[in-house]
Structure formats: structure tokens, C-alpha cells
Amino acid sequence: MEKPVCQQVGGKRDPSLAVDFIAIGFFGQVASFLILTELGLLPQVVKRGYYCNDKSIQHQYNGDTISTVTILLSGLVPVVLIWMTEALLYTPSINCSKTESDTRCRGSWRETWYWSKSYGRGLITLLVIIGTIKIFLGELRPHFINTCKPDVTCTGDEFVSDYTCTNNDESQYFVRDASKSFPSGHSAMSVFEAIFMIWYLERRVPRLRSVFSIPLVQMMLMCWAVFCSLSRITDHRHHWWDVLAGTIAGTLGAILTCHVGCHNFDASKRKRKTSLYTDHEHKLIASGGNNSANTGTPLHKEEITMNNVIHA
């Protein structure tokens, strides 16, 4: 006998699972459409024309300073940093529930999985939105003429709307990609990664004795985002307004992910399967009284202070 889709919660049907299935199905269809369009298996949605005297699309293509594979692999760096942070700062006596025992390895993985899920959802959503805009807007890249090699010879300020790309030396994907300049996906992704991790480190890492370690990592993350964004202009892969739009999209995506998805990295707002030291969180930390160390579970005062900073 098949189980119903909706779960029983308190005698009432919970439609959340059915809603999740609908959302996953819709997202899957959108993702499939984007992938098939990118691979050239579906017809091009928008075909932009151009002016013959438009110098902004007549640059030479000389390769990518930061390739697509590199920017995609960089998306895994925040996951590694999150795991390292949680593994170093995880305290089993604080993070475990009263009824379960947990090891540092298992507990840090659980914390890493929680924050990484929010990061992954935000990043994937951002990339889907950027990909959709690219397909339906279809702005020409700065190296469009060099890559497409249209079968039209024109002079002056004539506008060309009917043309066919004759470049057979490059893949069909790369030739069609020359018509998808706005907005910059590299800029959006690198800025999203940088802001998310800067925010995460600021909220989750306690005040350590070293005053340079965390700011140095945050500075390196921001330098990566700036370098990646500017390289798209110097490589003639994007116009400056494409990079600006991608930067804005990445910033807004990171802010929404940190505030909505991660609740500003406030661990007290997390939904857990097991109750976590309820007395400890409310009596030892929230009260802030002088005798709070003697109330609830007998944890060390320094351990409590660190937990307050990490989970605030």
C-alpha cells in the first residue's frame, strides 16, 4: 500500500512535502531548458542584431584569465572553508543535545552540511536566474564579430538583423555563447561567494587572539571577487555594464541568502530534530547574569562565552 505524499502532523495533513515536490519539478524543468539551450539542442530564443559601426563588439578574443571551469570549482571553496571553521571551533559539549553524544567529526559535519545547504541553494538559484536572463536578453559580447563571423558584409551605420554565424572552427556552444553577454555570470558568482563567506566568518567565528587572521581571509575573498570581475572586462568577454549588473546580482543574492536562508547565521533560529541545551542557551547565555555559570549545565565559562559568540 502506497504512503500518502503529505505527512500527518498533529492529526492534520502537512502539504509541505507536496509543495517541495512541485518546486523541485518546476526547478528541474527550468534547469533542463537552460542546459539544452546552452548545448544548442534547442533553438536560440533571442537573436540580437547589431550596427556595423559598433566598435564595442569588434574586439579580439584572446582567451579567459579565469575559465568557466575555474569559476565553477571556486564554488566549492566556501564549502571547504565552512568545514574547516566548524571542525576547528565545534564544541561537542555545547552543540550536542542532552540525550545524545556526538563526536567532533560528526558534529562538525552536521554543522557544515547545514550552512552549506543554504549556500548551495542561494548559489544555484542565482546561477539559474543569471542563465535565464542571458538566454532571453541575449546581448552581444565584445568579441561577437570575431567569434561569430557573420555572413554579412556591411559598412557605415547599417543595422544587421538577419545573419548566420559562419565560424566552424569553434564549437556551436561557444559561438552561441557570444550572444549571451548580459549579465556577467563570473562576476555574480565570485561576488556571491565572497560576500557569503565574509558574512559567515564575521558571524560564526569568535574573537580570536590574532587580529589579522580573519580580516586577512576576508580581504583575500574580496580581492578574488574584484579580480574575477575586472578580468572579464580586460579579456573582452563582457562590457562594463555586464560586470556591474553581475556584481549587483551577486550582492543581492548573498544578502538574501545570509538574511533569509541563514537567518543572519543565528544558530538559535535553526530548526533542529533534537533539542539543543535549551536551558543552556536561555539561562546561561541569554540571561547574562553574574551567576549564570552556575545555572543549568556545568559548562566552563570560557566555553560558554565562545558558544555565545559563535551562535549569536
The reported pLDDT for the residue numbered 229 is 96
129-169 pLDDT, tens digit per residue, is: 998 899 888 899 999 999 999 998 888 889 998 899 999 88
Of 80, 37, 69, nearest to 189 (Cα)? 69
108-129 pLDDT, tens digit per residue, is: 788 888 899 999 999 999 998 9
| CA separation for the pair 125, 132 (Å, rounded) | 11
The burial of 75, by beta-carbon neighbours within 10 Å (0-12 exposed, 13-18 middle, 19 or more buried), is given as middle
Q: Is residue 11 part of a domain?
A: no
C-alpha cell at 183: 549579465
C-alpha cell at 304: 560558554
Q: Is residue 297 part of a domain?
A: no
| CA separation for the pair 137, 155 (Å, rounded) | 26
pLDDT of 75 over the 70 cut? yes
Q: How far is CA 169 from the centre of its chain?
A: 34
pLDDT band (50, 70, 90) for residue 207? low
The domain total for the chain is 1
Q: Is residue 44 part of a domain?
A: no
Range of the domain at 84: 51-278
Q: Is residue 173 part of a domain?
A: yes
Amino acid at 68: T
Mean pLDDT of the chain: 78
Q: Is residue 299 part of a domain?
A: no
| CA separation for the pair 185, 70 (Å, rounded) | 13
Q: Is residue 33 part of a domain?
A: no
The SS3 assignment for 265 reads: helix
- Encode 37-48: b = buried (16+ Cβ within 10 Å), e = exposed: bbeeeeeeeeee
The reported pLDDT for the residue numbered 7 is 46
pLDDT of 286 over the 80 cut? no
For residues 280 and 101, the answer to whether their CB atoms sit within 8 Å is no
pLDDT of 261 over the 70 cut? yes
Q: Is residue 30 part of a domain?
A: no
pTM of the predicted model as reported, rounded to 2 decimal places = 0.76
The SS3 assignment for 96 reads: coil
Q: How far is CA 123 from the centre of its chain?
A: 2
Place of cell 576547528: 88
For residues 82 and 166, the answer to whether their CB atoms sit within 8 Å is no
Q: Is residue 145 part of a domain?
A: yes
| CA separation for the pair 267, 94 (Å, rounded) | 12
DSSP 8-state assignment for residue 258: I
| CA separation for the pair 290, 93 (Å, rounded) | 21
